[in-house]
Amino acid sequence: MKVLFVDQTGQLGGGELSLLDTVRGTSHTAEVVLFSDGPFRRLLEEIPVPVHLLAAGSAGEVRREAGISSLLSAVPSFVELRNKLAKIAEGFDVIYANSQKAFLVSALAKRRGQPLIWHLRDMLQADHFSGIMRSVAVFTGNHSANLVISNSQATLDSFIASGGKREKSIVIYNGISPAPFDTFSEQMVGELRSELGWQGKFVVGAFGRLSPWKGQHVLIEAVAALPDVHLAIVGDALFGEKEYVESLHALVQRHKLSERVHFLGFRRDVPQLMRSVDVIAHTATAPEPFGRVIVEGMLASRPVIATRAGGAVEIIRDGETGILVTPGHTTELQEAIKRLKTDSGFLNQLAQQGRQSALADFSVEKMICNVDTTITRFSR
């Protein structure tokens, strides 16, 4: 079947990295539409897969917290985008929208009877979206999507709780390949640690884009009171959260932590870096829709501490395959880090069990097969 995948961004967020694996592995004939350029386009073209770049204009500026007036002022730009997408989508059997904005434009652009799948990768909740954005998304989901694929049960539940139709929704978990984690030997880990100046140090790694709800500030606060612990922050603001990045740097200055907190920026060698830290902490303050970085940390055979909310709860069994702490709770986080620092038996046990669980439950082959089979349901 001919499938047109549509995504709103050329940046490399988790949704885009999951789509990259899907497009690389799919047995269907794939082409991709992006509403903005970036490194994602180049990786798709390397597969190789044809990519259509459509300038989004002011529709691209509409944020998830947008109110009715900014939505209305972007209507002409949405119409223009819709017209361009409709032309490209004509010859395809299925449209597969990988993000919310991509879904809204696809719903307007699809032919009558042309199947539309929405891969929902966001929690439709007040701490992520404005009321109007949620209402528009759920209304369109109920009326125009043939199927809503959620990346976790938590995401699906948020769709239903916002008024989404249960009979239209299924869960397909993200899958992640262990291969990049396995090709990095212990010797290479040692070399990278010494290059980064981490020999003999206990390093906690935080991986992911820098954004207030991802909670990197909570981790900095926690580490401030743990004098022997270093923190590596890997990632950058991908969607305009520059002020938050500045506030993180200011927090580090205020606590005089510049010797112990290392900002590494956005990196393409996440598997290697994960193998080079002692513990991985993911301290989101709002429910994480899925949390690829949690599974990646487990595949890297490192114990993962995550906050007890959203997708994290479906990935980690507390005390068995990782540790769950209360969102925003600095003391619990400190206790978890201290325990792992002092109890190497517990650290190794979590790392091993976490790895086995990630391999069994979040295989990339399973994800691709589930997506492919789902698409095939719409063949006519």
Query: Which residues in this chain contact ligand UDP in the complex, by CB under 6 A?
Result: 12-15, 17, 207-209, 234-235, 266-267, 270, 290-293, 296
- Comparison of 82 and 292: residue with beta carbon closer to ligand UDP: 292
Nearest approach in angstroms of CB 23 to ligand UDP is: 15
In sequence order, what are the residues at sequence separation of 6 or more whose Cβ sits closer than 8 angstroms to the Cβ of residue 10?
34, 36, 37, 38, 39, 40, 41, 53
Nearest approach in angstroms of CB 234 to ligand UDP is: 5
The number of CA neighbours under 13 Å toward the Cβ of 86 is 13
Q: Which amino acid is at 49?
A: V
Task: Please give the structure tokens belonging to residue 8.
Answer: 């709103």
Task: Please give the structure tokens belonging to residue 34.
Answer: 């992006």
Q: Do residues 89 and 110 touch, judged by C-beta distance below 8 A? A: yes
Nearest approach in angstroms of CB 136 to ligand UDP is: 21
Which SS3 state, helix, strand or coil, does residue 94 take? strand
- Comparison of 12 and 86: residue with beta carbon closer to ligand UDP: 12
- Comparison of 26 and 152: residue with beta carbon closer to ligand UDP: 152
Nearest approach in angstroms of CB 110 to ligand UDP is: 25
- Report d(CA 63, CA 132) in Å as an integer: 11
Task: Please give the structure tokens belonging to residue 220.
Answer: 């900095």
Token look-up 């995504």 returns 7
Nearest approach in angstroms of CB 376 to ligand UDP is: 26
Nearest approach in angstroms of CB 79 to ligand UDP is: 29
- Comparison of 43 and 56: residue with beta carbon closer to ligand UDP: 43
- Comparison of 13 and 141: residue with beta carbon closer to ligand UDP: 13
- Comparison of 89 and 294: residue with beta carbon closer to ligand UDP: 294
Please name the helix (run of DSSP H) or strand (run of DSSP E) that holds residue 148, with its range, or none. strand 147-150
> In this chain, which residue has its C-beta nearest to ligand UDP?
14
- Comparison of 119 and 209: residue with beta carbon closer to ligand UDP: 209
Please name the helix (run of DSSP H) or strand (run of DSSP E) that holds residue 234, with its range, or none. strand 229-234
- Comparison of 141 and 291: residue with beta carbon closer to ligand UDP: 291
* Cα 9 versus chain centre, distance: 13
Please name the helix (run of DSSP H) or strand (run of DSSP E) that holds residue 206, with its range, or none. strand 202-207
Nearest approach in angstroms of CB 264 to ligand UDP is: 7
Quick one: which of 194, 204, 235 has its CA closest to 12?
235
Nearest approach in angstroms of CB 61 to ligand UDP is: 20
- Report d(CA 327, CA 335) in Å as an integer: 14
Please name the helix (run of DSSP H) or strand (run of DSSP E) that holds residue 3, with its range, or none. strand 2-7
Q: Tally the residues of the chain.
A: 380
CB atoms within 10 A of CB 191: 12
